[in-house]
Amino acid sequence: MLDGALGGSEILQVRYPDCEREICEVIAKVAVARTKVSKEKTMRGRMLYSPKDMNRQFREAFTTSGYHELRDTYTITIPNSETNIPGVFKQIDFVKGKVLVEVQFGKYAFMFYDMAKFQYFFNENKADVGIEIVPCHALHKQMSTGVSYGEQLVYDIERLKRHFPAVPIKVILIDIDETD
């Protein structure tokens, strides 16, 4: 695990030590295997780690630990327009108290969109800290193309000089211990 210096570690340690422990326990419970046979041109036939399998295991472990989904539904209206779009929502996968957790094995844009969702719920006073669990570069190379890696996310956030997101976050980069 690697944690970027983005303010979230301190919040977890001081205000939510039980959540910090639970998040580490959930990560440790995820037991992955190379179950996906690649059909991609550049990796045809190669055995890869499956994001679907990893997401399923994270969902089961977080749910067992008492985390639930957070969803805010609203209607989009545009000033000086008759546009009215009901049923739009922002959603976080795992929440306990004011600790938000997203597990992201998708494209980079989804990692960054998670930051916007953390900011939204922080602004709504429904969050004190956001935790983003993402693959590290070494793990991403052993998954389908299109899966991003957390080092890029941490690098970009640090270059934004904490102007965005303004919510304290902790980015946890995960890897596979192939000796187990």
Give yes or no for a contact between 6 and 166, defined as CB atoms under 8 angstroms apart: no
CA nearest neighbour of 93 among 58, 65, 128, 64: 58
Tokens of 103: 């597990």
Asked whether residue 119 is domain-assigned, the answer is yes
Asked if 67 and 101 count as a contact pair (C-beta separation under 8 A), the reply is yes
Report the predicted TM-score, pTM, of the whole model to 2 decimal places: 0.88
20 in a structural domain? yes
Query: How many residues are listed for the chain in this entry?
Result: 180
pLDDT at 132 over 50: yes
102-131 pLDDT per residue, tens: 999 988 889 999 999 999 999 999 999 999
Do residues 142 and 178 make contact, with C-beta atoms less than 8 angstroms apart? no
- The arrangement of strands across the sheet holding 169-174 comes to 68-77, 84-96, 99-103, 129-135, 169-174
Going through the chain in order, the beta strands assigned E by DSSP cover 34-37, 47-49, 68-77, 84-96, 99-103, 129-135, 169-174
Write out the residue range of the structural domain in which residue 52 sits.
8-67+95-174
In a domain, residue 110? The reply is yes
**Residue 3 binned pLDDT confidence (cut-offs 50, 70, 90):** very low
Residue 87 within any structural domain of the chain: no
The pLDDT value given to residue 69? 97
pLDDT of residue 147: 81
pLDDT in the model for residue 148: 87
Distance between CA atoms of 4 and 125, rounded to whole angstroms? 23
Into how many domains does the chain fold?
1
Percent of the chain with pLDDT over 70: 92
Tell me the CATH number at 38.
3.40.91.20
Does the pLDDT of residue 146 top 80, yes or no?
Answer: no
Show the tokens assigned to 18.
């039980």
Q: What is the pLDDT of residues 7-54, one digit of tens each?
A: 899 999 999 999 999 999 999 999 877 777 767 777 777 777 788 888
